[in-house]
Amino acid sequence: MSDIQTWALIFVAASFALYIVIAWRSRVRETKGFFVAEQNIPAVANGAAVAADWMSAASFISMAGLIAFLGSDGSIYLMGWTGGYVLLALLLAPYLRKWGKFTVPEFVGDRFSETVRSVSAVVAIIVSFTYVVGQMSGGGIVFSRFLQVEQAWGVAIAAAVIFAYAVFGGMKGITWTQVAQYTVLIVAYLIPAWAVAQTMTGFPVPQITFGEILAELNRIGAEFGLPVYTEAFTARPQIDVFLVTMSLMIGTAGLPHVIIRFYTTKTVRGARYSALWALIFIGLLYTTAPAVGAFTKLNLLSGVQGAAVDALPSWVQNWMATGLVTVGDGVQTISTISNNPESGADLIINNDILVLASPEIAGLPAPIIGLVAAGGLAAAMSTAAGLLLVISSSASHDLYFRYVDHHASESRRLLVSRIAMGLAVLVAIYFGINPPAFVAQVVAFAFGLAASTFFPILLLGIFWKRANAAGAVSGMLAGLVFTATYMIYTLPVFGTAANDHVLGISPEGIGTIGAVVNLVVTVVVSLLTRPPAHEVQEMVENIRYPAERRTEVTPA
- pLDDT level of residue 548 (50, 70, 90 thresholds): low
- pLDDT for res 549: 55
What is the model's pLDDT at position 460?
Answer: 93
Q: Is residue 476 part of a domain?
A: no
499 pLDDT band, cuts 50/70/90, is low
Count of H-run helices and E-run strands, the chain: 24, 3
Q: How many domains does the chain have?
A: 1
Instruction: With respect to residue 378, please indicate whether it lies within any of the assigned structural domains.
Output: yes
The mean pLDDT of the chain is 82
- 172-215 pLDDT, tens digit per residue, is 777 888 889 899 999 999 999 999 889 888 888 888 888 888 88
What pLDDT is recorded for position 483? 92
Residue 90 within a domain: yes
101-160 pLDDT per residue, tens: 667 788 888 889 888 888 888 888 888 877 777 777 777 777 777 777 777 888 888 788
- Judge whether 523 lies within some domain: no
Q: Does 471 map to a domain?
A: no
Give 556's pLDDT tier (boundaries 50, 70, 90).
very low
pLDDT at 491: 65
Please give the pLDDT value at position 474: 95
Dump pLDDT digits (tens) for 248-278.
899 888 887 777 777 777 777 787 788 888 8
- pLDDT band at 480, cuts 50/70/90? very high
Q: Residue 233: CB partners within 8 Å, gap ≥ 6? A: 72, 73, 241
3-state secondary structure of 26: coil
pLDDT over 80 at 458, yes or no: yes
* Mean pLDDT, residues 40-62 taken together: 82
> Would you call 496 helix, strand, or coil by DSSP?
coil
CA distance linking residue 449 with residue 383, whole number of Å = 17
Collapsing DSSP to helix, strand or coil, 332 comes out as coil
Assess if residue 10 is contained within a domain.
Answer: yes
Q: Is residue 240 part of a domain?
A: no
Residue range 419-425: mean pLDDT, rounded: 82
Instruction: Tell me the CATH number at 410.
Output: 1.20.1730.10
Q: In whole angstroms, give the CA distance from residue 430 to residue 434.
A: 6
Lowest-confidence region among 171-180, 389-398, 491-500: 491-500
Contacts with 549 (C-beta within 8 Å, 6 or more apart), sequence order? none
**If pLDDT is split at 50, 70 and 90, which confidence band does 29 have?**
low
User: Amino acid letter at 527?
Assistant: L
Of the two residues 405 and 52, the one the predictor is more confident about is 52
Q: Which domain holds residue 73?
A: 3-200+245-296+363-434
- Res 494: pLDDT: 46
Nearest to 504 by CA among 249, 246, 235: 235
The pLDDT of 19-41, averaged and rounded, is 70
Higher per-residue confidence, 530 vs 343: 530
Residue 252 lies in a domain: yes
3-state secondary structure of 337: strand
Residue 538 has pLDDT above 80, yes or no: yes
Q: CA-CA distance, 242 to 229, in Å (whole number)? A: 19
pTM: 0.81
Cα–Cα distances in angstroms (integers) from residue 233 to residues 27, 70, 284, 297, in the given order: 50, 9, 27, 19
Helix (H) or strand (E) holding 287: none
Other C-beta atoms within 10 Å of 5: how many? 17
Residue 262: which of 100, 85, 29 has the closest Cα?
A: 100
User: For the chain, what percent of residues have pLDDT higher than 70?
Assistant: 90
86 contacts 279 by C-beta, under 8 angstroms: yes
